Amino acid sequence: MLPDMIAFDSASRTFFLNGPASSYVLGVDGHGHLLHLHWGAGIRPGALGQIARLLDRPFSPNPYPADRTYSLDTLPQECPTGGLTDFRSPAVLVEHPDGTHVLDLVYLAHVIVAGKPGLPGLPATYVEGSGEADTLTITLIDQPSGVRVELSYSQFRDHDAIARSLRIINAGDAVRFVTRACSASCDLPTADRRLMTLSGGWARERQVEIAPLRPGLQGVQSRRGTSSHQQNPFIAVLDAGADEVHGEVRGLALIYSGCFIAQVEVDQYATARTQIGMDAPALRWRLAPGEAFQAPEAVLVWSSEGLGGMSRTCHRLFRTRLARGQFRDAPRPILINNWEATYFDFNTDKLIAIARKAKEIGVEMMVLDDGWFGAREGDRAGLGDWVCNEQKLPGGLRRLADGIEALDMRFGLWFEPEMVNPDSDLYRAHPDWCLHIPGRGRSEARNQLVLDLTRPEVRAYVYNAVAGVLRSARISYVKWDMNRHLTEVASAGVAAGVAAGEVHHRFVLGLYDVLERITTEFPDVLFESCSGGGGRFDGGMLYYMPQVWCSDNSDAICRLSIQHGTSMAYPLSSMGAHVSACPNHQVHRTTPMRTRGHVAFTGAFGFELDLNKLSPEDLQVTRELVVEYNRVRGLLATGDLYRLRDPSDGQAAAWMVVSPDRRQALVTYVRIQAVGNAPLPVVRLRGLDPAAGYRIGDETIGGDVLMAVGLHLPLTHDFQSLTWHLDRV
Ligand code: GLA
C-alpha cells in the first residue's frame, strides 16, 4: 500500500501523487521551474534520484548563460509557456499589452488539502467525502508581469486518476489576454507510442483511430463550438506493445463541451508532449488587473492493463463521481421514443397507440420527440417557441402526459433550447438574440440559428421556457438536443463588454449555468443529452445529464463501432441506445430484431419505432428482449466492461459485462459478416473469478476455463447475435 495520496519531499522539492497502482511526480528545479518527472506505475516517494537530464544541446538557448546545459527546450515541463527557451507547444499563453507572450513561470507556493474543491460554474469530478481525494495546488508566478498560474491536482484514492485544472490570474497592472490554456500538459519521456483519438462524423461518431507517434505535432481539435461529432475531447497514448488487454496506456479527457484541442508534440529528443485544453482562436480571454481565468478540468487516467483497464477506470469515475443526481446509480427506465416512428407526423391518438403497444411488452416510458410546439411541422419553423401546439395535441401536454401516465408509463419530452428558427415568434421579437456579427450574414444549419447564451436575458428566457413546460405537466424525462454548430460567433452583448474571443467559452458557461439551474430545480427528471445524435458526448455534459443519445445512427451494425469507440471513455450507463425499425432509416440495412436488442442493451436501453407495425414474430422477440434486459439491467448499469472482440475488421464483435462482485456476467457476440466454411470462433472471457464455477444455461464451467480456454461459439449468419448469462454458483 502506497502512503499518502499526495506527498511532498521538501529536500528535493518533489511532489508525489499516488493512486492505487500509479504515481504522478513533479518537482521544482533549482531555478524554480516545475518539471514533469513521472506519470506511470507507482513509485515510492523519495526514491526518485536525478531524472531531469542536463546537457549542452545546440540550438536550445540558455536562460542562465553561465550554464550551457540548462534549457527549457530540453527539460520535461509541467506547465510550459511561450516566448522563452522552450520552442515546443505551450500549455499557457498570455498576451501582454506589448503583444509579446513571454512568461517565465517559477514556483511561488503550494498547498495540499484533503478532498477536492469544485470548479465554480464548470463541470468537474467530485468526491463524497474528503477521504476520497487529496488536492495539491501549486502557484507559479511570472515575476516581471505579475501573472500567476495555479495548477491544481486532485488524486483519487480509489482510482488511478488525477483531475487537473489551471487558473490564470492577472496580478499585474495592465489588461492581458489568455489565448491558450491546456488543463493538462505532460512531457512523456519517449515517443515509441501510439495516439488514440475518437474521430468521425454525424451518424458515425467516435470511431477508434490509432496511429504511431511521429516527430512533430499530431492531434485533434474542435472549432465547432461544441465538442462535436467529428472529434472527441478524449485521447489516449499507448505505450509500445500496449493493446486492449496489456501494457501501459494513458488517457486524457477534457471535462468540457465546447471547442478544444488535444495533441501530442514529439520533439527532437523524442519527448511526447501530451496536452488537452483550450486554444485560440476560440479563446482570447480578456483579463483585467486582478481578474482570473479558470480553465476546465482534465482527467488523467493511467492503466497497466491496456485500453480495457483505462476504460474501466474512466467508467467507474465518470459514472460515480462525474454524473450526478438520483439517476446516477439507478437503472434507467426502458423508453420508447416516437422520432423514427412518426417524425413530425403525429397526433395524440398515434402517440397513445404507440405507447399502449409498448406498455404491453414492458416499456416504461414514452418520449415525445421534436414537433410538439409552436409552428413546428418540419424543421423549418418553431424552434424557440416552447408552447404546445394544441392543434396537434388537444388539451396540451398535460392531457397527453396524463394519458400516458394512465397507462402506468412515465412521459418524457424533447427540447432544443439553445436554438431558434428565423421563422419563429421568438426570432421575430428578438432578432438580435442569436450569435451573429453585425454587417455579415447569418449562416443557417437545419434552418436554425444559435441563441446567444452569453446574454443573461437569453439564458433567463431559455430557463423559463423549459422550466415552465416542466411545471405544466407530469414530465419525467427530458431529451436536451442541439442540432447545429456555431458560426459567426459574436454577441450583440459585445456592446456590453463581451469580447469576440470570449463568446465561444461564454456560450458554454451560459449553457452550464442554465443546465445547473434546470437540473437542480427538477431533480426527479431524468435528462438525456443529445446533439444530432452524439455530437456532444463529453464529460461536461455527463456532469449535468447521466445519459447521452449516442448517435442518430440506430443501425445495430453501425452501432457496434460507435458504441465500441464511445466505451473507450464513457460508461455504458451513459449511452442511449434504441431498437429501431428495419430497413434501418440511416443505412437501409435489415438486421434481426434480437440483434438490434442485444446491441441496444449496451446502453440506456429503449425503442424507437411503432411496435404496432411489427410482425407477430418480431413483436414476440421484443417481448423476450425486455424480459432478458430486465434480468441484466442492474448488471449493465454498474458492471465492468470487457471488450472481447473489436468490430473494426468487419467480421464480429464481442464484449462482456461483469458485476463488481463477479457473481454475474453477460457475454454478447455479434457476427457481422459470415465466412464460408469458417473456423469455429472462440472468445476468451475476462474479469471472472478464476476459482469459481459459472452456470451458463444447463452447464457449469470454471471461471479459469472460461478465461484460459474460452467459450466456443456456434457458427452464425450475417448480423446474428448471441448472449450468454453467467451466474456464479
Ligand atoms: C436530432 C436528434 C434526433 C431527433 C431529431 C429531432 O437529430 O438527434 O434524435 O431528436 O433531432 O429533430
What is the pTM (predicted TM-score) of this model?
Answer: 0.98
State the Cα–Cα distance between residues 479 and 108, nearest whole angstrom.
Answer: 47
3-class DSSP state for residue 505? Answer: helix
pLDDT for 492 equals 86
Q: How far is the CA of 482 from the centre of ligand 1 (A)?
A: 8
For ligand 1, atom 1, name the residue with the nearest CA: 532
Rg over alpha carbons for the chain, rounded to the nearest Å, is: 26
Q: Measured in whole angstroms, how far is the alpha carbon of residue 188 from the centre of its chain?
A: 24
Report the alpha-carbon distance of residue 441 to residue 573 in Å, rounded.
42
Mutation choice for ligand 1 from 367, 552, 580, CB with most ligand atoms inside 8 A: 552
Q: What is the DSSP string of 89-141?
A: --SEEEE-TTS--B--EEEEEEEEEES----TTS-----SSGGGEEEEEEEEE
How confident is the model at residue 1, as a pLDDT?
A: 42
Predicted pLDDT of residue 50: 62
**Residue ranges for the chain with pLDDT beneath 70:** 1-3, 47, 49-52, 493-497
Q: Which amino acid, one-letter code, is at 701?
A: I
Q: Cα–Cα distance between 324 and 221 in angstroms, integer?
A: 27
Which residues are annotated as catalytic? 481, 552
Q: pLDDT at position 45, please?
A: 79
Torsion of CA 84, 89, 94, 98, to 10 degrees: 50
Q: Provide residues with CB under 6 Å of ligand 1.
A: 339, 369-370, 414, 481, 483, 530, 532-533, 549, 552
Give the number of the atom of ligand 1 that is nearest the alpha carbon of residue 369.
10
Which atom of ligand 1 is least distant from the CA of 530?
A: 8
Protein residue whose Cα sits closest to atom 12 of ligand 1: 370
Q: How far is the CA of 370 from the centre of ligand 1 (A)?
A: 7
Give the pLDDT confidence score for residue 494 in this predicted structure. Answer: 54
Helix (H, G, I), strand (E, B) or coil at 307: helix
698's CB contacts (< 8 A; 6+ apart) are none
Residue nearest atom 6 of ligand 1, based on CA coordinates = 370
Dig out the grid coordinates for 55 from the structure.
546537457
- Ligand 1 mutation target, pool 483, 485, 585, most atoms within 8 A of CB: 483
Report the nearest-CA residue for atom 11 of ligand 1: 532
Q: Whose CA is nearest to atom 7 of ligand 1?
A: 532
Ligand 1 probe mutation, 530, 536, 537, most atoms within 8 A of CB: 530
User: Which residue's C-alpha cell is 443526481?
Assistant: 325
Residue of 450, 456, 461 whose CA lies nearest to 489: 450
pLDDT of 2 reads 43
- Atom from ligand 1 closest to the CA of residue 379: 12
Q: Contact 241/252 with Cβ under 8 angstroms?
A: no
Question: Tell me, what amino acid is at 114?
Answer: A
Looking at 430-499, list the stretches that DSSP marks H as alpha helix, in order from N- to C-terminal side.
456-472
Sign of CA dihedral 429, 434, 440, 446: negative
Compute the Cα dihedral for 458, 463, 468, 469 and give only its sign: positive
**Is there a contact between 263 and 218 (Cβ–Cβ < 8 Å)?**
yes
User: What pLDDT is recorded for position 128?
Assistant: 98
